[in-house]
Structure 1
């Protein structure tokens, strides 16, 4: 795990340098779905602090097991309306908000004793029928509506483009979405949850502030 962690960090630093961006401007999110709490603890001891989960019940169990660790928890999976309360109560970030109803419920259910919940809007940038997310054309209206809600803080967008092996083609959807957000003229939207291990460099070149990496960090589950 040490070598994998160092390799991913090196990749991020290299891509950040090529993009002429400040060192440290890209946050690594360790995607720990299906991985045991012991793996998360091991990576935490190496210095990783941000962990992302896809499945709510699995995440809540790990949070109990790792309560002694100062982890920043991100949720990146699909959201059902009846699961918003625990999301609002137990996470620091939610990346997969794709409609106003979900944002409203998270806002209403975020406890007063916690800081506002950081959220990203998931955009279906490749317009795939199998994926969740708002269309890029409807993004401005959703941003305006969600920004007005209390107890949450709209930070930016998340995207999972259609898989592509060609580097130039990997960059295109991220560039399109980044530019669309810039055109909204909302400086508070400073977070771009772009890229995984297969397109990490392309995502960073096009403005990613957070990259989501799982198997390349933890290894394949036996």
Structure 2
């Protein structure tokens, strides 16, 4: 067995286990399996893995650093996948990210809305954007892992919805390490569901809820996540960057 074949077999086995977890979580939550989209987070893994995942049927991949993501997306330009950008995003990287990302999960401030809008128009593209919610910041200040405070989500959503080249798609969060929901992803994701419901009253098309990773995807599915972002459970331990 070649190294490539062995790696594809490893990915296939890991994917099957993750699919079983998502399926079981959907059954437990009384949801259909097709209500939840798996996004495989490929950060620090080679472009070769993206190709192998695509051959296995994966259609959504995510990156969190622009330099790595831009190079990988270019190398995989012929691969039929949707590219998601899930990391904290500096405004000076917006033009680059807008050139390859189809969905940006980490919009958390008005300045970034403006930068992404200008970048999308420059590239002649339309980007789906999510408001990243900082659940460690129930006040008006942003959270430690990035994100907008819950109280500012609707206003930021309004700006996104009005911005040229951008579509308000929904909300995203990362289970917080501090604050009232630390160590309780189920409660955190239930809070995100409330925030999503509130946003949808103003923007009915903003139904995407991106939540849950390898360790807590079941809690996310139970709370209504439409997209789960899974890295290590599919790809294994991340290589160390040199």
Q: 2:146 aligns with which of 125, 132, 154?
A: 132
Secondary structure, counterpart of 1:47 in structure 2: coil
In the alignment of these two chains, the number of paired residues is: 220
Q: Which residue of 2 aligns with 1:181?
A: 196
Question: Contact 1:35–1:221 at 8 Å: present in 2 too?
Answer: yes
Q: 1:172 aligns with which of 187, 202, 206?
A: 187
TM-score by length of 2: 0.85
Q: 1:196 aligns with which of 213, 222, 227?
A: 213
Q: Which residue of 2 aligns with 1:211?
A: 228
* Offset, 1:173: 1.2
Q: Which residue of 1 aligns with 2:97?
A: 87
**Partner Cα distance (1:27, 1:120) in 2:** 15
TM-superposition CA deviations, 1:61-116 (whole Å, max 9, x none):
11121122111100001111110001112110000111011111111211477552
TM-superposition CA deviations, 1:126-175 (whole Å, max 9, x none):
228521111001112111222111210010111012259x9x93211111
Unaligned runs of 5+ in 1: none
Structure 1 vs Structure 2 CA RMSD: 1.9
Question: Contact 1:89–1:111 at 8 Å: present in 2 too?
Answer: no
Higher relative contact order (CA 8 A, sep 6+): 1
**Partner Cα distance (1:22, 1:129) in 2:** 33
* Offset, 1:204: 0.5
Question: Contact 2:85–2:106 at 8 Å: present in 1 too?
Answer: yes
**Partner Cα distance (2:125, 2:25) in 1:** 32
Secondary structure, counterpart of 1:51 in structure 2: strand
Unaligned runs of 5+ in 2: 1-10
Q: How does 1:17-36 map to 2 (within 5 A)?
A: 17-36=27-46
Question: Contact 1:88–1:111 at 8 Å: present in 2 too?
Answer: no
* Offset, 1:16: 1.1
Question: Contact 2:135–2:143 at 8 Å: present in 1 too?
Answer: no
Q: Which residue of 2 aligns with 1:154?
A: 168
**Partner Cα distance (1:183, 1:135) in 2:** 14
**Partner Cα distance (1:175, 1:221) in 2:** 29
